[in-house]
């Protein structure tokens, strides 16, 4: 039966291979199978070839730290050695500066003593010159001129700046004086006080131990009050020799006494006035002696 087709041979199907349980986690599997990167492996191989693979990494770090400490110790040692070398030179220069300052202070003290001695000599000569003509009249003139010491009853006026007063400008102007209100006593205020005491009958006046004369100048240098170019420091102690029963009330009732009261009420200036049984006012430190001569009348032309 050549013409009949033969059926295909019977083929047994191949058994199917079961899938791996982690087939869906191929990336994780690759990471687990190749946990060491190829670069690390190559570096390890090079170290083995160089013979340095046996040194632990921590030992290298310790060696580097030790080398850094050695360098730092050398720097510190060199700095200390240099400081020890420079120390005697600096000490010598410092001592030389101290000696120069001390010598300058000694010269200044000697000059100050010489000035005081000359001032005392000049004042004594001026007082002697004022006492010569007129006898007792000359003594009175010398007292009024401030050439001699004065003792007697009077009043004691202590004036001080306001509490918490500050320097510089601030506040409103004090009348028309041109000074700003800072709670500080001004030279113009002190001038009014002194003039009020003279007008009230004071025979002699001193401010912080500085005797006033008819030619005394009360001025300002910044916030400081100057009397005859000598600075005063608050509180200002004003001593006035005179009738203690009349001088105090007369001053308080005067225009200048009322002015001081306004300073207290409006600007906080503090003051106290009290009578005194015995006051001692020193002689003025410097006086200008002036003399007058009679001038002949010129005869008219004939």
Instruction: Give Cβ neighbours of residue 40 (< 8 Å, ≥ 6 apart).
Output: none
DSSP 3-state of 254: coil
Largest CA distance in the chain: 202
The string of pLDDT tens digits covering residues 9-52 is 555 555 555 555 555 556 556 655 655 566 666 766 776 676 55
Site of tokens 């009024």: 144
Lowest mean pLDDT among 29-43, 103-117, 180-194, 246-260: 29-43
Tell me phi and psi for residue 224, to 5 degrees: -90, 145
The string of pLDDT tens digits covering residues 66-98 is 888 888 888 888 777 777 766 777 777 888 888
In this prediction, residue 168 carries a pLDDT of: 45
Cα four-point dihedral sign 278, 282, 288, 294: positive
Length of the chain: 302
Radius of gyration of the chain (CA): 52
Tell me phi and psi for residue 231, to 5 degrees: -70, 145
In this prediction, residue 144 carries a pLDDT of: 66
- How far is Cα 228 from Cα 212, in angstroms, rounded to an integer? 9
Contact in structure between 104 and 263 (CB atoms under 8 Å): no
């Amino acid at each position: 039966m050549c013409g009949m087709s033969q059926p295909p041979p019977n083929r047994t199907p191949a058994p199917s291979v079961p899938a791996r349980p982690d087939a869906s986690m191929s990336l994780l599997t690759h990471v687990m199978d190749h946990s060491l990167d190829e670069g690390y492996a190559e570096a390890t191989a090079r170290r083995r070839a160089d013979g340095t693979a046996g040194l632990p990494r921590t030992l290298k770090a310790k060696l580097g730290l030790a080398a850094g400490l050695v360098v730092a110790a050398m720097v510190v040692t060199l700095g200390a050695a240099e400081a020890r070398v420079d120390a005697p030179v600096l000490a010598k220069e410092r001592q030389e500066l101290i000696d120069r300052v001390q010598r300058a202070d000694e010269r200044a003290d000697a000059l100050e003593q010489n000035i005081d001695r000359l001032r005392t000599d000049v004042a004594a000569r001026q007082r002697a010159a004022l006492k010569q003509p007129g006898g007792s009249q000359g003594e009175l003139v010398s007292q009024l001129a401030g050439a001699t010491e004065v003792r007697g009853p009077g009043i004691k006026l202590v004036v001080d700046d306001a509490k918490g007063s500050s320097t510089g400008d601030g506040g409103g102007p004090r009348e028309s004086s041109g000074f700003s209100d800072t709670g500080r006593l001004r030279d113009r205020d002190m001038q009014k006080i002194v003039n009020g005491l003279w007008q009230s009958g004071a025979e002699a006046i001193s401010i912080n131990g500085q005797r006033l004369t008819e030619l005394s100048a009360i001025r300002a240098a910044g916030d400081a009050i100057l009397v005859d170019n000598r600075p005063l420091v608050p509180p200002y102690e004003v001593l006035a020799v005179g009738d203690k029963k009349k001088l105090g009330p007369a001053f308080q009732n005067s225009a200048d006494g009322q002015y001081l009261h306004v300073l207290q009420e409006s600007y906080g200036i503090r003051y106290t006035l009290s009578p005194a049984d015995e006051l001692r006012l020193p002689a003025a430190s410097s006086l200008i002696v002036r003399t007058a001569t009679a001038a002949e009348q010129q005869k008219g032309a004939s």
